[in-house]
């Protein structure tokens, strides 16, 4: 019923394929809304199992899933939500050796991983294959959303902002996080992905930062870092 989407837009969603890397606090709400929105194919990647501590923010799981593989438990929930989608799940950790094979059949990539090493591998792959990358992160009260449209030669990349950071950042296992914030950032990832598919992203800002404690929202336009080793062509 939304005029910007209509039947044609819904058909585009049904024909699309999306990889979600990580089914934690961000991947959970993102996958739920994408399944409910009628995305044709969801390819899920997570090599972890459900733990009690996950339930605070990973809303796709419940206590009966503790000890189960996240990818399998999530697939079951998503197909119960929408049996008309195709949901493929893989208990694999994305790395340099397998990323081409893992993401070959996905048109769009949502990065919900929690370490710089994996994010940079995903960033390089998406830039090289010209696939849109929607990436999210949150810690404490703050969250970030990045939308890199690599089909455009003017798009910056993740490395442009984090070129000097090679060590892993704190994961949710090692730091605190305000649980509703994870749901908010994950939902934004689904929103941005859907808008990319439908060509409805008119904003020039590709970096959104949210402080859930102060309700501050900052939008920024990232540009190519002339020293970036990935996208500066130098």
Question: 125 in helix, strand or coil?
Answer: helix
Task: Name the token pair of 189.
Answer: 């990832």
| pTM confidence score | 0.93
Confidence of residue 12 (pLDDT cuts 50, 70, 90): very high
pLDDT above 80 (res 166): no
Q: Is 158 domain-assigned?
A: yes
Residue 84 within any structural domain of the chain: yes
CATH number (domain holding residue 105): 3.40.50.720
Q: Is residue 216 part of a domain?
A: yes
Give residue-wise pLDDT tens across range 101-155: 999 999 999 999 988 899 999 999 999 999 999 999 999 999 999 999 998 888 9
- Let me know if residue 227 belongs to a domain: no
Owning domain of residue 59: 6-220
Distance CA(205)–CA(151), nearest Å, equals 16
208 in a structural domain: yes
Question: For residue 109, what are the CA distances in angstroms to 41, 58, 63, 207?
Answer: 12, 19, 29, 16
Residue 151 is assigned to a structural domain of this protein: yes
Is residue 86, in this structure, part of any structural domain at all?
A: yes
User: Does 229 reside within a domain?
Assistant: no
When divided into structural domains, the chain yields a total of 1
Q: State pLDDT tens for residues 172-223.
A: 445 789 999 999 999 999 999 999 999 998 888 999 999 999 999 999 999 9
Q: Which residue's structure tokens are 């190519």?
A: 224
């Amino acid at each position: 019923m939304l005029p910007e989407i209509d039947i044609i837009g819904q058909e585009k969603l049904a024909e699309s394929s999306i990889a979600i890397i990580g089914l934690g606090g961000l991947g959970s709400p993102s996958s739920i809304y994408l399944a409910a929105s009628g995305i044709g194919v969801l390819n899920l990647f997570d090599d972890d199992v459900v733990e009690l501590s996950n339930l605070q923010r990973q809303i796709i799981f419940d206590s009966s899933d503790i000890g189960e593989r996240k990818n399998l438990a999530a697939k079951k929930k998503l197909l119960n939500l929408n049996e008309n989608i195709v949901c493929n799940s893989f208990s694999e950790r994305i790395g340099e050796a397998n990323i081409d094979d893992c993401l070959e059949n996905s048109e769009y990539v949502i990065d919900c991983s929690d370490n710089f090493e994996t994010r940079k591998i995903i960033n390089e792959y998406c830039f090289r294959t010209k696939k849109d990358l929607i990436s999210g992160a949150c810690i404490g009260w703050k969250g970030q959303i990045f939308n890199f449209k690599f089909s455009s030669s003017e798009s910056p990349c993740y490395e442009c902002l984090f070129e000097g950071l090679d060590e892993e950042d704190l994961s949710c296992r090692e730091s605190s996080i305000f649980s509703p914030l994870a749901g908010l950032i994950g939902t934004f990832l689904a929103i941005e992905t859907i808008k990319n598919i439908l060509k409805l992203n008119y904003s020039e800002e590709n970096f959104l930062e949210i402080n859930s404690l102060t309700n501050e929202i900052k939008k920024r336009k990232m540009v190519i870092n002339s020293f970036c080793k990935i996208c500066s062509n130098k």
